[in-house]
Structure 1
Amino acid sequence: MSDPSEIPVLPLSELPVSSFKQMGLVPETKVRILEALEEEPAHGYLLAEKLGLSHGYIYTHLKELREEGMIEVVEESEGKKVYGLTQNGEYLLLALTDLE
């Protein structure tokens, strides 16, 4: 996939999110990660601990979410990447939580 910074930011009205969660297109784990990152940026180990998931499982989802343009590295120090939501990630989370 191309560089995530090249993914265009779409207005919420253009995101086809109404059926994402219902159809299982956005797995619950990814939604939980997005919700945690909405609260505060975090590195993978902290997310794994907070969500009760294995490190390998978290990093697989973080990689996918980054490639999809939903999250980005907001800080990197001592070999740890701190992730935060992109604008598209915020829009997706907003749309998914509005469905509930």
Structure 2
Amino acid sequence: MASAKIKKGDTVVVLSGKDKGQTGTVQQVMPKEGKILVEGVNVMTRHRKPSQANPQGGIDRVPAPLHIAKVAIADPKDGKPTRVRFEEKDGKKVRVAVKSGETIDG
């Protein structure tokens, strides 16, 4: 991957799958696997047996990773999905939303 267009803390919109249209904040980016972990999206349930660490057992809800191609950064202006390009402003390389032209990181 050339340079990361999606980073931890970004707000993203899911483009396809069962959670299409949902927005969430990026919790973790795994560039080697090409996956991303988004808060509140693609939540799976794990049934846990009682153990000494967790004597109650029960059902845990854990987020599962999504492929990075299934999400797009939410435009800072209107929250709709947008592509990202890089520009140089004041000698710094910044990410810019293609739709609105607004900078994503300060």
Does the TM-score normalized on the shorter chain lie above 0.5?
Answer: no
Higher strand share: 2
Which structure's relative contact order is higher, taking Cα pairs within 8 Å and 6+ residues apart?
1
Greater radius of gyration (CA): 2
Higher helix share: 1
